[in-house]
Amino acid sequence: MSQSEKNYCLEMTNENARMRRILGRLSIAYASRKLLGNIKPIQSGKFGKPMVNGLSFSISHSESLSKKQFCVCSAYANNNYDVGIDVSLRDKPMINVKTSPNEFLDRLRINQGLGSPGEWSQIDSAENVNSKLNTFYRLWSIKESVLKATGLGASGIKPSLIDIILNGAHPYDCLLSYRDDAKFLIRDELMTATVFEEKLKIDKSEFYLSETIMKSGFTFPAFQPIEELDLDNLIHELS
């Protein structure tokens, strides 16, 4: 890691936030080596999206219920692809123990910026409140990946203008190892894109992992399962 990259990571004063930034930069460096043969400088595209040698990269940071920090990274060796990746915790515990799941769901519903009418229809079709909350987390993971793929983020597109259409149960709830049949509209226009959904388990925590690939060509990338590396192995691969 270059000195400028180290300085960028040290800007974060919170230890966990600093570790997430380190993991993000190392993940991009690792992906850069895998795709391009060597490590290239990380640049910022429009709206701050990471770019390396003209290729689109996307990262998402989170932590497990045991506070283990981790990062997921997505990139393709094709500059026609714009990628976005995101994770969302499944069966997320209530932050406020005085708030019931039903009350929390009602608060989410009141915030009109979080979901479209079509998405809330899908959420309400779930059989119980926990399933409804998980459907919300699943949709939100996809929505965040779409926002990242556009390169605009929530500051460039209101999340409520993105309408996600699910086409079946998540791999957690069916026999599929992944799905690639979710669709989405932006400002009522159906987008040409692929959305991959798969499971991600960190310790005993389960996450929805969503990856969106938007393209300017006509060929879709094939699904590639996530490659898991701990920090020691990541550093070893980069040394």
* Cα distance between residue 207 and residue 199, in whole Å: 6
- Give the tens place of pLDDT for each residue, 36-95: 888 888 888 767 788 888 888 899 999 999 999 999 999 887 778 889 999 999 999 988
Q: What is the pLDDT of residue 163?
A: 96
Phi-psi region of 203 (alpha: psi -120 to 50; beta: other; left: phi over 0): left
* Cα distance between residue 79 and residue 216, in whole Å: 9
Residue 42 per-residue DSSP state: -
DSSP string, 97-150: TTS-HHHHHHHHHH-TTS--HHHHHHHHTSSSHHHHHHHHHHHHHHHHHHHHHH
Q: Taking the alpha carbons of 151, 155, 157, 163 in that order, is the dihedral positive or negative?
A: positive
Residue 154 has pLDDT above 70, yes or no: no
80 versus 134: the higher-pLDDT residue is 134
Give the tokens for residue 212: 């969106």
Residue carrying the six token digits 């990274």:
73
The full set of domains in the chain, from first to last, is: 3-238 (3.90.470.20)
Q: What is the pLDDT of residue 219?
A: 61
- Give the tens place of pLDDT for each residue, 2-34: 788 888 888 888 898 899 889 999 999 998 888
C-alpha distances in angstroms, 9 versus 32, 182, 209, 234?
Answer: 18, 35, 25, 17
Residue 217 has pLDDT above 70, yes or no: no
Beta bridge partners of 178: 198
Most confident of 73-77, 112-116, 175-179, 218-222: 175-179
* Cα distance between residue 60 and residue 145, in whole Å: 9
Average of per-residue pLDDT across 95-113: 87
Residue 207 has pLDDT above 80, yes or no: yes
Average of per-residue pLDDT across 199-222: 84
Q: What is the overall mean pLDDT for the chain?
A: 88
